[in-house]
Amino acid sequence: MSRNDTLFARSQTHIPGGVNSPVRAFRSVGGTPRFFERGQGPHVWDADGKRYIDYIGSWGPLILGHAHPDIVEAVCATARSGMSYGAPTEREAEMAETLCRLVPSLEMVRLTSSGTEACMSAVRLARGFTGRNRIVKFEGCYHGHGDSLLVKAGSGMLTFGNPDSAGVPADLAAHTLVLQYNDIEGVKQVFAEMGDTIAAIIVEPVVGNMNLVAPEPGFLETLREVCTRHGSVLIFDEVMTGFRVALGGAQAHYGITPDLSTFGKVVGGGMPLAVFGGRADIMKHLAPLGPVYQAGTLSGNPVAVAAGLAQLKHLQTPGFHDALAAKTRALVDGMVGAAHDTGVAFSGQSVGGMFGVYFSAAVPKSYPEVMDSDRERFNRFFHHMLDAGVYLAPSAFEAGFVSAAHTDADIAETVAAARAAFAAL
């Protein structure tokens, strides 16, 4: 029995499912999850000493790769002075100033510890600002595990939300309207019927939680238009896309200005840190200035902020995101080419440093199209790649991430592994 097997069996005794976040359990793909002991650059090593080329990167934060020396030094130096104070520090002001300079839509920000916390706080703030209860989200978009956001659609174009998790009250979920991503006409219809009762739209501008789904031309523009017309708050969930698809996030990439935004992952450099922010007139409704309450003992933790600042400094290097996007396109183009050479129905796309691959002839544009892809074939492909030393997300419904540390040799090795996997399918 491998050490991975042993550790997984041990973990299941006192941790539900043996993991502290469900997708890590490999339930979707089968088999034993890998327990990692170290990472360096684009590589990770598991408990059995096997090396993998990592395309998860802690689900997106590690845009510079694992254990970048400048981030490690920032963490160590800060920790030597104290791990946490529960009081303000100068670095928090520096982080706020940096974010507001890099993302023009941000006039004020509040630091939190997780993307879930940032998203649920942004929704609460939008409701408090507008005095309305209803929110709109899109099927397949994930905004953390806040009660209002763990909602799925039923049949039909528009569905009043049904709880997607036990423990979420149905009457709370009923305030969430669920639409199809990229359905422009559906958005217009809902706002024509009830726009003046909707507090906010929350959306991943590029979806990373049903694999990668990019916005169709006009979709984000429509969201901006209906929110402006009806006095609703447009919230961009940039927890994944922020500073990964462009220096100013997806909003800079597509030229759309949201009212509020949430950021996480890359912002923290691998440490627990997230942000929500936006228009000053909205943000001033937060306590202690206004009636919308939000707080956190570890918000603005000095060690996490130091890691985030060290990472953001590197991302401002001219040409950084262009180089990352080119590297990511090379990976996707190589895998798609290998699939076509072997006659496998396979497609892929990338936006910045994020990518999606699908066992379908065409790139999906919505949740139903993603669900129509061949999941069983993906699962076999995943294990072929894992055996070859390539670590992809253990689910057909998660985006992948390339880091600046991935080399041309890593890309070539991955494409070669994919070619062999396609041939074996």
CATH of the domain at 342: 3.90.1150.10
At 278-329, the pLDDT tens digits run 999 999 999 999 999 999 999 999 999 999 999 999 999 999 999 999 999 9
At 175-208, the pLDDT tens digits run 999 999 999 999 999 999 999 999 999 999 999 9
Going from the C-alpha of 351 to that of each of 66, 157, 228, 329, 391, the distances in angstroms are: 21, 27, 27, 8, 20
pLDDT value for 151: 78
pLDDT value for 321: 98
Residues 168 and 300 in one domain: yes
Query: Of 315, 332, 367, which closes a domain?
Result: 315
At 238-270, the pLDDT tens digits run 999 999 999 999 999 999 999 999 999 999 999
Residues 279 and 410 in one domain: no
In the predicted structure, residue 153 carries a pLDDT above the cut 60: no
Average pLDDT of every residue of the chain: 95
pTM of the entire predicted model: 0.96
pLDDT value for 147: 81
Query: Of 285, 315, 345, which closes a domain?
Result: 315
CATH of the domain at 169: 3.40.640.10
Residues 323 and 233 in one domain: no
In the predicted structure, residue 156 carries a pLDDT above the cut 60: no
Residues 31 and 99 in one domain: no
Residues 27 and 112 in one domain: no
At 349-366, the pLDDT tens digits run 999 999 999 999 999 999
Q: pLDDT grade, residue 160 (50/70/90)?
A: very low
pLDDT value for 320: 98
Domain hosting residue 370, numbered range = 3-67+318-424
Average pLDDT (372-401) is: 96
Residues 346 and 397 in one domain: yes
Total domains, the chain: 2
Task: State the Cα–Cα distance between residues 195 and 192, nearest whole angstrom.
Answer: 6
Residues 117 and 261 in one domain: yes
pLDDT value for 163: 66
Residues 55 and 133 in one domain: no
Q: Which of 152-161, 275-284, 315-324, 411-420 has the lowest mean pLDDT?
A: 152-161
Share of the chain above pLDDT 70, in %: 97
Task: State the Cα–Cα distance between residues 396 and 345, nearest whole angstrom.
Answer: 15
Residues 344 and 374 in one domain: yes
In the predicted structure, residue 133 carries a pLDDT above the cut 70: yes
Q: Which of 15-29, 149-163, 329-343 has the lowest mean pLDDT?
A: 149-163
Share of the chain above pLDDT 90, in %: 91
φ/ψ of residue 71, rounded to 5: -75, -40
Q: pLDDT grade, residue 162 (50/70/90)?
A: low
Query: Of 294, 315, 336, which closes a domain?
Result: 315
Residues 220 and 279 in one domain: yes
Query: Which residues are annotated as catalytic?
Result: 142, 237, 265
In the predicted structure, residue 152 carries a pLDDT above the cut 80: no
Task: State the Cα–Cα distance between residues 410 and 40, nearest whole angstrom.
Answer: 13
Residues 26 and 112 in one domain: no
pLDDT value for 96: 98
